[in-house]
Amino acid sequence: MAALADRRRINGPSGGTSAPIFARIVKEPGYLQSLRPSRTRGPNELRKIFLQTGIVPSASGSAYLEIPSELPSKTTLIPSSSSLKLSCSIQGPKPLPRSAPFSPSLLLTTTVKFAPFATRTRRGYIRDSVERDLGVHLETALRGVIIAERWPKSGVEVVVTVIEGDEDGWWGDDFSAKRGSGGGSGSGWGLLNVLAGCITVASAAIADAGIDCVDLVSGGVAAIVRNPRSRGDDVVKILDPNPSEHQDVVAACAVGYLAGRDEITELWMKGDVGPDPDQLVDGATHAAVGSLSVLREVILEAVEAKFKGPATEGDSLKRKSPSQDVEMGG
């Protein structure tokens, strides 16, 4: 049975979010390549993370995570690389319907949805296979963290909205592919960064909701890329990769990591990892530890502000709000 068309809204064009390409870029391929971004961070240096809790008052818990992009170029209006912006809200724990069968533990439901404007190619309003796969990976990462036995016959829903997602590659490669010169992205490297961000922001939202967990789980990504300055097959391992900054990504790995227990709750690996995959997994766990330092500080400040009562009326005007933000590097 064919799906019914959504007649309640008018969908925009499929390529409505693409930035305009001017004639100078079309006529000068060398100028196009000069706009390619390059990694200025060290191999083990992480990007700055902005994390804030309590952004949705109607939800049981919520959080917002942003990893900003590099500074825009002065010669073009097109950003050199994308940034990562995620919003998470928690609904529950709440009782299941009477018609539902008895469950001795908490039922976890995870949903990951891209906003229509989250990527350069406009997305639809109905969840596709990529979003469903991300939801399954996120559920696997969170299932071993929540102490589900404390909420029998109850359910909780974790909803993550991707406001802006990391791209799979540089936009100039896609433009070159359309002109017939090969290249182009679409390999899915950016989804690993999206998954790691979803794990971190969901962990912050669950802590903000007051749901008992065994530990805070954080996400991290590591990748193996080819060295562009070398003529051979020399590869280098980097933490927190930005796919638009690398011309050839060999393999990448995303993990959900419990630092207190030294356990990995989720592992997603892509590409040719070579004979030693443990090296790539160790790099991803190190990146997750860097994200955990930001997560811990945000949760600690939010808890202190929530349970710290003002002594006088003057102190109440100066006290911190429950939503705290921290911007720091790994």
Measured in whole angstroms, the distance separating CA 191 from the mean position of its chain's CA atoms is 8
* Alpha-carbon separation of residue 199 from 20, 190, 204, 277, 295 (angstroms): 34, 15, 9, 22, 11
Other CB atoms within 10 Å distance of the CB of residue 263:
14
Whether the bond into 79 is cis, omega within 30 of 0: no
For 306, list phi and psi in degrees, rounded to 5. Answer: -75, -40
> Which 8-state DSSP code applies to residue 294?
H
Strand 154-164 versus strand 217-226 pairing type: unpaired
pLDDT at 6: 57
- Does residue 241 contact residue 165 with C-beta atoms inside 8 Å? no
Instruction: Determine the pLDDT at residue 314.
Output: 47
Residues in the chain, pLDDT under 50? 1-2, 179-186, 310-314, 316-317, 319-323, 330
- Per-residue confidence (pLDDT) for residue 8, from 0 to 100: 66
Pair of tokens at residue 322: 């429950």
Q: Give the span between the Cα atoms of 166 and 192, in whole angstroms.
A: 9
The torsion angle over the Cα atoms of residues 316, 317, 323 and 324, rounded to 10 degrees, is -100
pLDDT for position 180: 42
Per-residue exposure over 186-210, b if at least 16 CB sit within 10 Å of its own CB, e if not: eeebbbbbbbbbbbbbbbbbbbbbe
Burial, 264: exposed, middle or buried (Cβ in 10 Å; 0-12, 13-18, 19+)? middle
pLDDT at 273: 82
d(CA 299, CA 52): 9
Residue 86 has φ and ψ, to the nearest 5°, of -130, 145
Q: How many CB atoms lie within 10 A of CB 299?
A: 20
List domains and CATH numbers for the chain.
23-308 (3.30.230.70)
Instruction: Give 160's contacts (C-beta < 8 A, 6+ positions apart).
Output: 86, 87, 88, 110, 111, 112, 113, 138, 198, 201, 202
- What are the tens digits of pLDDT across the range 98-129? 888 888 889 999 999 999 988 878 888 888 89
